[in-house]
Structure 1
Amino acid sequence: INHQTWYIKAEWRGIDLVPRMLELFEGHHEYPVTEKVRIDVLRRFGYYSTESNGHLSEYVAWYRKRPEEIARWIDTGSWINGETGGYLRVCTEGRNWFETEFPQWLAEAPKSFAASERSGEHGSYIIEGLETGRIYRGHFNVINGSTITNLPPDAVVEVPGYVDRNGLNIPRVGDLPLGCAAVCNQSISVQRLAVHAAVTGDDRLLRQAFLMDPLVGAVCTPPEIWQMVDEMLVAGEAWLPQYADAIAAAKARLAQGKAIPTRTGYAGAARLHTKTIDEMRADRVNSQRNAEATDKAKLRPAAAKKAG
């Protein structure tokens, strides 16, 4: 449930900032453009969600339900601000650039790695803490147990903690605010259904997971969801052997020619063009940075405003 993490406490020099967060975000020079969903969730729930604007919009029912309204909630300056299929686009561009440029990289002098150029990835800091005892504080994905007391104990949660020679140490958080917990519990239920479906090959559980997904439920009716699952099972047949019987039944239903009409060629309300290799070569510096980056959303600028 690490895509639905909340700041329930924030202090600066002893001042409780939680009551002021909405005012501060709304008064920022850029966040009201790039973080519209997160600011609105803060407005409705009273607490700030750590997840990106785009991802948060996908995990709740309210911001992507009508194509004509999506632009009100997203920004296309960075893929992570809500662009349709943005992560797929940026990864596709990075992969294509890597495949094209890799022979040239091999011909270049090897890069040097020094302690002064250490990345921000958690892994090396965790290992350092375990091996040397140097305390590393961060946020970690762990089995909940009794850490967050109003979420299921077997859920995976993202919580603050620290690492030292004794291992990973997670303090008890207690209850989330009820509204925040309700948002998390809905996604946990979807994930539980999906995992059990995948393990057992039970397509009824799979369909129930789709039914309970907040965004799917906001957009589709049950018959539409059933048909969508049929189509997805058939499309993924090569990788879904546990659903063999369900796929055979789905093929039979689809072959009857009674499918609910869908919009042919529709690519989503906010999908951007995937750059060609030639287009990326024209912007070589940024293309190289994207291909190399682990965090492909470190920079999140607002979309440039059109003149006139």
Structure 2
Amino acid sequence: MKLVILGGGGFRVPLVYRALLADRSPRRVTQVVLHDLDSVRLAAISGVLASLATDISDAPAVTTSTDLDEALRGADFVFSAIRVGGLDGRAADESVAAGCGVLGQETVGAGGVAYGLRTVPVALDIARRISVQAPDAWVINFTNPAGMVTEAMSTHLGNRVIGICDSPVGLGKRVARAVGASLEDAWLDYAGLNHLGWLRGVHVRGRDVLPDLLADAERLESFEEGKLFGAEWLRMLGAIPNEYLHYYYFTREAVESGTSRGAFLLEQQKQFYAAPSWESWERTRLEREQTYMAETRDDERDSDDLDGGGYERVALDLMHAITSDQRATLILNVPNGTTLSCLDADAIVEVPSLVDANGARPVSVSQVPDEGVGLVTALKVVERATIKAAISGERAHAVKAVALHPLVDSVSIARKIVDAHPLLSGVFRATF
């Protein structure tokens, strides 16, 4: 099978390849094409992959290409992990928002909208070209903001594009450890949007063990989300939120921290790409994992959370279920249908989904908590306003998308963000 990785010069690509090397299934990936616009980054990452494959005789063959159409031809799967504007863009997204006194974060708030405004036009062009060059390919989207980008790409690819994220699986692993179970033995009742979801139940051998966990403060605060939100707040919610909800529940503290993850990663990765090797990649990766959401924690991350990502495992399980037609249930970004009553059928939601040769479809889950319905519906409006602005190129629509976000408290600030952003100013035309 041929797998094309868009954003193939990206830092996390070796995680995907490492998972492919460990895969011994009959219909495993045998050919990997890395596509990127930056040939220097491609060379750096392909060198790391070559080191990983040393002494593995049947390692998937790796080629690189800066020509998108050439890379796509004959693809069975396309993994999209692009970053439009690079880490410079992320740093700008975060610093412009912070400079205006609102949250600066890659996928949440004004920073997430700015990232979406840049990314959606490129993602739509990619989707169109996939539909021509590889119409039978399945597209796995990890490009952020993942829910928004998946919804935009679905206009050309329908249900052949499926969004993935590592946050729900990371939460699931930690909760399973806390209740003394393995993730494989637990069914997670999870509902929401990408980076905006709640774990409503943890079913082990037919029994929901989440109430027991919520009642045990020591166990509840033994893992990342418990420490992040505190046992009292989690008990009040009766659920465990995705870690990104920290930015909504503790907005003031997040804004006051003034931390720019983008600026940190930009400097860190400059050092890696200047002298790439397997050793420097692993060292940089470990530092990246140790400092993930560091501004929200008072102590170090648990060593069990430092393996790296988790999205590569989700991607591999997704590919296996499709190619083998053996059913699997994974938390994915898929069309809602009738799953969440607060959203329409076409809305991309993040819920447990049944996967087989026909793709992924959501299964029945608990509804979004009452106190989360407003957030979910508001964020879906923001996602769609961002898509509309990105397609129209009109400043008024871009301002509207930023202003409607619950974490942006002023239309005037929204105008300032759009006009001050170095990668947005001049892009959107004024209509009035």
Normalising to structure 1: TM-score of the pair?
0.56
Contact persistence 2:323–2:357 (CA under 8 A): yes
Match of 2:402 in 1: 210
Query: How many angstroms apart in 1 are the aligned matches of 2:354 and 2:380?
Result: 25
CA–CA distance in 2 between the matches of 1:199 and 1:139?
29
Correspondence 1:9 to 2:184? no
CA positional deviation for 1:141: 0.9
Equivalents in 1 of 2:396, 2:233: separation in Å? 32
Alignment of 1:201 onto 2:390: no
| Count of equivalent residues | 211
1:156 aligns with 348
Kindly report the root-mean-square deviation, in angstroms, between the aligned alpha carbons of the 2 structures: 3.6
> Which residue is 1:42 aligned to?
234
Secondary structure, counterpart of 2:429 in structure 1: helix
Q: Is the 8 A contact 1:137 1:160 kept in 2?
A: yes
Pick the structure with more strand per residue: 2
2:322·2:357 contact (CA, 8 Å) conserved in 1? yes
- Could you say which residue in structure 1 is the equivalent of 2:268? 93
**Distance in 1 of aligned mates of 2:270 and 2:337:** 39
Is 1:130 the counterpart of 2:322? The answer is yes
Contact 1:25 1:31 (8 Å CA) reproduced: no
C-alpha distance 70-98 of structure 1, shift in aligned 2 (>3 A): same
1:100 partner letter: A
Structure 2 distance, partners of 1:84, 1:24, is 32
**Alignment-mate amino acid for residue 65 of structure 1:** R
Deviations 1:9-54 (A, max 9, x none): 22345543343443335544644797423756534432211x22xx
Residues 120 and 20 of structure 1: CA distance in aligned 2, closer, same or farther (over 3 Å): same
d(CA) in 2 for partners of 1:32, 1:134 = 33
Pair member with larger Rg? 1
The structure 2 residue matched to 1:173, chosen from 347, 358, 365, is: 365
Name which of 35, 42, 64 aligns with 2:251. Answer: 64
SS, match of residue 398 in structure 2: helix
Residues 132 and 202 of structure 1: is their aligned pair in 2 closer, same or farther, counting only changes over 3 Å?
A: same
CA distance in 2, matches of 1:91, 1:22: 38
The correspondence of residues 255-274 of structure 1 with structure 2, limited to 5 A, is none
**Aligned residue for 2:382?**
190
Change (3 A) 1:5 1:99: same
Q: Which amino acid aligns with 2:363?
A: P
CA distance in 1, matches of 2:334, 2:250: 29
Do the aligned partners of 1:2 and 1:157 also contact (CA within 8 Å) in 2?
A: yes
Per-residue deviation at 1:222?
3.5
Is there any run of 5+ residues in structure 2 with no aligned partner, and where?
A: 1-192, 281-309
The verdict on how the C-alpha distance between 1:213 and 1:159 changes in structure 2, with shifts beyond 3 A counting, is same
Deviations 1:240-271 (A, max 9, x none): 64x1347xx9xxxxxxxxxxxxxxxxxxxxxx
Question: What's the TM-score, normalizing by structure 2?
Answer: 0.42
**SS of aligned partner of 2:367:** coil
SS at match of 1:124: helix
1:88 shift after superposition:
4.8
Structure 1 stretch displaced more, 119-128 or 139-148:
119-128
How far apart are residue 63 of structure 1 and its match?
Answer: 1.4
Distance 1:88 1:46, change over 3 A: farther
Is the 8 Å Cα contact of residues 225 and 240 (structure 2) preserved in structure 1? no
Q: Tell me, what secondary structure is at the counterpart of 2:407?
A: helix
